[in-house]
Structure 1
């Protein structure tokens, strides 16, 4: 029982202890390394995701309405600027810790700029005067000086302009102007002289200080004909105080930017809660409003992270359970090889404690050190979050397994697997495991789980189901083989008969269970990853049911033809969308008891051609393909909510006897319900009240021809910039002919590509964590499955060697020997791999409702389904596993020297 004796035994059985050490090391490395890598990928993903958000979703902005500051509060700019630090101090701690850059700005309402250097051909120019922080530090003078005094001795306000604005207007330092506040009728209310004392250039046009509206770096174009250009000039605090002291309205803004590198995934929930409480924590001495969109990306990332952590927990649980099973198998296999030694100890009067002490002394020399090496290697990986307590528990369990296995092997009559135990005990164990698996699956589906938490029920159910499936297969496994063996007995040759007969009796419980768990984990990762990719494709196709989607106000009808002429465009379909419309009960316009809904008109035939050319799986029902001139009720696709209201009102019946009426751009169109649908590609996300109509061919004398509000295009390699140019031209030409009220603000057309939407869905911050989890699960499951098969082969190597030795002495050729190995091992490999693949493919159907996978697909439901690639992967894995198993058996047989295994009492 001495330490040198234990060391000699470890050396003598070095291969067995090396296998146990490697498994313990890998377990410790997995426990330590996975949380660290996950933490690094999560932090990196959060930083990149927030950094890629638009400005409105990264800034916290406090602002005031235009107000006239009383003379008693003058000077005002310095006092309000001091609130920049005061507001931040009142922010909740979590928000305050993430603030990076901060800016203060005081800005007048626009005034008309006039001067001798502003020629009439430049158009009308309105100017804001702005003072604030960070501007001088972020710019370089190219002409003149900064407005140091703010006001000249003559009473003129000193201002500077960006080089881009000054160049556009043809201005230079030294120019003088008149700055006037106008009323609604264009009359001058107040006026001040202005001197342009300098021109500057931004050091970085993308710097955060310039992210304000209107921009200081360029002139804003007129919104409508006759409107002025709008620019911003910078002045000193004294200059702005001078003009506000005369009663000029001014606004104040305090802007704080979230620094992505200061965000911590572990404190994300607390940060979101504090952002929600910002409005309650703002200062009360100044009337100000808070605008922020920071919570939107943070909530989206938090939802995705919670789902990713849940998914990673399931994968890690499968791998750890497989490693635990492999360690147990390795310990039992090592104890079986030394069974005679343990029997001899007991025969000489050795106690149970003696066997345990011997095994424990050997384990303590190897396995704790292996766990420590795994912990150290895991600690080298970048990241944080690993806990040494779990490594200590794993090391303790691994250290106790060999002595316990030795104790079991040392018992008189000890058997190596469940198959050798009492049938009643085996049946009881199988029934209990099966009952726990079914009960756990039922409870999991019934109660769900809190996403992002390591739910014991969630991580145990897949493992229990894999074990239960393996036990059921073991019960059914021998029956078909015995039938095949009977048939083979009637045929010529002994290879098939002997191989199938031995295969029907050789299956052992432990190795098969481990292989099923490993392969199930790999298959689960493959199925879920494919389902997520398919869901993202579906979400992108719903958002852009073509290659490009153009949305705007209204376009001239010939815009579709001009888009079709662009290089690469294969098909174009016009779309007309009315966001909110209330149906009428009759043509005269009598209101119907129906709330607002969205109306979409689309040319069904052309839309179907776009979907076909773009290879987008979009269904275009026959009612949308109908051809009509609008004189008869149009067949409509109606959402269930709208269909119920129309039916209650007695409108839009399928026969069209009493249609509902819709006002579409001044045209009263009758509508009948042709079909009820839950969704349609062009309607938009989260819209539950809609009506989709075919595009009617209105007569030439119709009061208003329909003008599309968007287009769907199909074509690979289409230049989105050219599409945008044509769309802007089509909208501009429509507005010029008076198609809409010129007082409306026409937003610029928006061009969206399906590839861009798909890329955005694939990069929602946690994609790196997902890829890591799937690669770890698939690769680790496949590797551990092969190792489990190797242990399964080695577990029966001795008995198989004895049979082969006898058969060789009876004249079995080497070729027949290989054939016998192939016949005996093929059923074991195929059953274990296929069972694991089936369990892994079915697990997503059970777990998908509780995993929160729509967080990765933009809200689209993930539907795991059969994939041909899964069968191809399983087939490759099965062939690889079979070749690996035969290689292991052949190497083992050569090492054992089959001629010697028949010696009496020989243990191999």
Structure 2
């Protein structure tokens, strides 16, 4: 047959099919690329935000004798090259250049301080380009001196400015360090970091700042020059060597996370094999596996949710395309019947249908596939597989459908049979589908997700099973209420309601099934909307849980009263509630708990419009579940206090969520040392930080923005919105296609009735009553399915990583979007019915009825 001529004859249907294929392929191929790009960006941001000491790879070793010592830079350099050479190939793109090496002592006390002050010695391979000498000079080569009858080395060192005041040191001073193997430290210079924000300082915070390992202990690491390595030995002191291999976060890819975790373990084993004859065992110190593992858990949830909605989108797109293919097949039916009667083979019939469908679908699919490359991001396999699936399903359905329809030449098909009684086999099969769907849902809720890092196939199968079960129930049961309505309408005098409802109730399976394509479209779109609203609401709750007030000001030291008054006078500040936080002793033993002293009633007024709060408290204490059941107990804070338990609370917004804690009235303190301000209003956080220099200012709005700006969180919500809009469009397209597909049969029925005196107005009402019930039933069932899916899948899908680590369990029942979708579908159905009657009005009865139809 002449395929091009057939395409010209049915150009409108071919164009619709091509547009549907283009949109489906663009979405199915473009959305995964955008999501994968978001996954990659989330991983890069996670690695960048993590402390360098956790994200980077650090090879460490200890020297315990002079034979283990490394005494010159070249020895460090040779090992550094070795570590880079043995990095596994999978890990190599993630390892950046520009690492550094170091040698440091630790816990080196200043002699005579009883272990209260420590000056450790440290060598950095890149100290020359990372520090500026602001006083004195750079340290020089070591010397010797006599101390207690023996010769000891004298190290010239440089210390950071902060250490002068914190540890009472001065330029040019010499200190003796060590307990038995003594050494002298002469302060030759004072330095300042060129860029304190440089990530490499994360590995050397002990050089840049005074460390307090215990309340009364102060530690600082002083810099020594290259020449100091020749004297620095692990024989008499604790000495460690480090080679830092920094991680290049921009090279990280989410798809490679499992390989990276395995590669880090391989690198650790390879480093350990080099321990023979080396200064102590070499091993790798890094938090990278944990960072990758945490990200993988969060990513797994994102992929699960996206797999659900994208699978639903693909299924709905294929369903609408199949409807369009069915429409094209209906247009070809007369031509192929004639060809079959004239001796055309079944292969020719199927080949013609497949060729014409391929001609309509393939260009649109190719264009949609090409448009997906405008979306930046990696190319997962679904990008290639999605368009291929669309083309294969479309062409295969067209070939099989017409081959079955025309397997016998001139086969008679009666259109006046309302419905056939279903066989026992079919009823059994449909009942089995419903039972299996319910069983699968129960097992999923009881079992949870599998241990696989990818999407769980069982989780993906349950929504399909539920949709199939709901479709079967709808198909079997929707006729009964319509028949009841038809019987009620039969008692009236008007014929149009009875005829319309009767035709809707007697619709054959072939005319009902196209409308049931709306089920997954509405179900998945409502599911996406409900999940998106649930995440949004929980994010808002999490931001209040994190801050505990519109604005919170916290300080490690007491906030002066003058600064509090300046805060009260700041424009935009409505209320200020002072509070004191700290650790308190419970009883007289070693039990400690977190505590906050605050005027709870005033704090409740600050939280008046918030989703969090506290019970009223005028005396006694509110305690955590771990402290319940104690009745009256004592605590040691500024003084000994006796408190009665007035209630049990699971958390304190902005302060405590677990462990042992209590809330007491601020009046129980003799003189509260206020270190926290809870503020209601819209004052500028920057201005508050200026007024209270020692404090950290956080706001609920900033916390909410930080939660929502997470790449994975924003990607999930953005994808849900796009999928919801796409499914709504496909649902409307399904309604239009169902109207067009049944237009010929509907016109024939109306024409028969017009010969009996049916008016044009009655014809429009009849058409609306025939179509609208199925649309409304399907819309209500789809709405119910969409509301059921979050409840059914909720325990198996942990959305807390996208909601500030709070579980998303209470999905709000906001029916605005579902109602809008249902109203849109009903409106399209009504407009389509009126358009159909307007077009049919122009036709004469002879154009529809054949000779003998009225006999």
Same topology, TM > 0.5? yes
| Superposed CA offset, 1:723-764 (max 9, x none) | 475373xxxxxxxxxxxxxxxxxxxx5443333332332244
Which residue in the other structure is 2:146 paired with? none
Determine if contact 1:156/1:195 at 8 Å carries over to the other structure: no
**Structure 1 runs not aligned, ≥5 long:** 114-124, 170-175, 629-633, 647-651, 729-748
1:132 to 124, 136, 154: 124
**Structure 2 runs not aligned, ≥5 long:** 111-116, 144-152
Q: CA deviation at 1:795?
A: 2.8
Q: CA deviation at 1:320?
A: 1.8
Partner of 1:32, secondary structure, is helix
Determine if contact 1:418/1:426 at 8 Å carries over to the other structure: no
Alignment of 1:32-47 (within 5 A): 32-47=29-44
For the residues of structure 2 that align with 1:371 and 1:906, how far apart are their CA atoms? Answer: 46
2:379 to 366, 379, 384: 384
Which residue in the other structure is 2:47 paired with? 50
Which residue in the other structure is 2:438 paired with? 438
Determine if contact 1:724/1:751 at 8 Å carries over to the other structure: no
Partner of 1:462, secondary structure, is helix
For the residues of structure 1 that align with 2:792 and 2:615, how far apart are their CA atoms? Answer: 32
For the residues of structure 2 that align with 1:241 and 1:300, how far apart are their CA atoms? Answer: 43
1:826 to 750, 754, 772: 772
The structure-2 alpha-carbon separation of the partners of 1:72 and 1:638, relative to structure 1 and needing over 3 Å to count, comes to closer
Determine if contact 1:601/1:694 at 8 Å carries over to the other structure: yes
The structure-2 alpha-carbon separation of the partners of 1:32 and 1:617, relative to structure 1 and needing over 3 Å to count, comes to closer
Q: Does 1:536 align with 2:539?
A: yes
Determine if contact 1:104/1:254 at 8 Å carries over to the other structure: yes
For the residues of structure 2 that align with 1:520 and 1:439, how far apart are their CA atoms? Answer: 20
Q: Does 1:518 align with 2:526?
A: no
Q: How many residues align?
A: 817
For the residues of structure 2 that align with 1:141 and 1:661, how far apart are their CA atoms? Answer: 54
Which residue in the other structure is 1:401 paired with? 397
The structure-2 alpha-carbon separation of the partners of 1:317 and 1:192, relative to structure 1 and needing over 3 Å to count, comes to closer
Q: Does 1:85 align with 2:81?
A: yes
Which residue in the other structure is 2:573 paired with? 569
The structure-2 alpha-carbon separation of the partners of 1:263 and 1:758, relative to structure 1 and needing over 3 Å to count, comes to same
1:662 to 635, 639, 662: 635
Which residue in the other structure is 2:712 paired with? 766
The structure-2 alpha-carbon separation of the partners of 1:392 and 1:719, relative to structure 1 and needing over 3 Å to count, comes to closer
TM-score between the two structures when normalised by the length of structure 2: 0.81
For the residues of structure 2 that align with 1:72 and 1:405, how far apart are their CA atoms? Answer: 80
2:829 to 885, 892, 906: 885
Greater alpha carbon shift after TM alignment, 289-298 vs 47-56: 289-298
Which residue in the other structure is 1:619 paired with? 613
For the residues of structure 2 that align with 1:432 and 1:400, how far apart are their CA atoms? Answer: 27
| Superposed CA offset, 1:677-722 (max 9, x none) | 544435534x2x435343263386xxxx554554433322342563
TM-score between the two structures when normalised by the length of structure 1: 0.76
The structure-2 alpha-carbon separation of the partners of 1:752 and 1:621, relative to structure 1 and needing over 3 Å to count, comes to same
The structure-2 alpha-carbon separation of the partners of 1:751 and 1:293, relative to structure 1 and needing over 3 Å to count, comes to farther
For the residues of structure 2 that align with 1:26 and 1:263, how far apart are their CA atoms? Answer: 31
Q: CA deviation at 1:46?
A: 1.8
Determine if contact 1:805/1:902 at 8 Å carries over to the other structure: yes
Q: CA deviation at 1:848?
A: 1.4
Which residue in the other structure is 2:844 paired with? 899
Q: Does 1:267 align with 2:268?
A: no
Q: Does 1:467 align with 2:471?
A: no
| Superposed CA offset, 1:260-283 (max 9, x none) | 112121221232355567766456
Determine if contact 2:768/2:829 at 8 Å carries over to the other structure: no
| Superposed CA offset, 1:416-448 (max 9, x none) | 999744433764554343233223222322332
Q: CA deviation at 1:329?
A: 2.5
Alignment of 1:724-735 (within 5 A): 726=692, 728=694
Q: CA deviation at 1:126?
A: 11
| Superposed CA offset, 1:229-285 (max 9, x none) | 97966x641256468799998764433321111212122123235556776645643
Which residue in the other structure is 2:660 paired with? 690
Which residue in the other structure is 1:775 paired with? 721
Alignment of 1:246-645 (within 5 A): 252-275=241-264, 281=271, 284=275, 285-287=278-280, 292-345=286-339, 347=341, 352-368=346-362, 370-379=364-373, 381-382=375-376, 383-386=378-381, 388=384, 391-410=387-406, 412-414=411-413, 420-424=419-423, 427-428=427-428, 430-450=430-450, 452-485=453-486, 496-506=497-507, 508-553=511-556, 555=558, 558=561, 563-577=567-581, 581=585, 583-584=586-587, 589=588, 598-612=594-608, 615-622=609-616, 625=617, 627-628=618-619, 634=620, 636-639=622-625, 642-643=627-628
Q: CA deviation at 1:610?
A: 2.1
Q: Does 1:853 align with 2:799?
A: yes
Q: CA deviation at 1:667?
A: 1.3
- Over the aligned positions, Cα root-mean-square deviation in angstroms equals 4.8
1:875 to 815, 819, 823: 819
Q: Does 1:719 align with 2:685?
A: yes
Greater alpha carbon shift after TM alignment, 41-50 vs 224-233: 224-233
Which residue in the other structure is 2:150 paired with? none
The structure-2 alpha-carbon separation of the partners of 1:179 and 1:104, relative to structure 1 and needing over 3 Å to count, comes to farther
The structure-2 alpha-carbon separation of the partners of 1:758 and 1:82, relative to structure 1 and needing over 3 Å to count, comes to farther
Partner of 2:634, secondary structure, is strand
For the residues of structure 2 that align with 1:228 and 1:448, how far apart are their CA atoms? Answer: 50
Q: CA deviation at 1:791?
A: 1.8
Determine if contact 2:94/2:252 at 8 Å carries over to the other structure: yes
Greater alpha carbon shift after TM alignment, 321-330 vs 800-809: 800-809
Q: CA deviation at 1:840?
A: 0.9
Partner of 2:850, secondary structure, is coil
Partner of 1:697, secondary structure, is helix
For the residues of structure 2 that align with 1:499 and 1:158, how far apart are their CA atoms? Answer: 101
Determine if contact 1:790/1:888 at 8 Å carries over to the other structure: yes
The structure-2 alpha-carbon separation of the partners of 1:250 and 1:444, relative to structure 1 and needing over 3 Å to count, comes to closer
Partner of 2:573, secondary structure, is coil
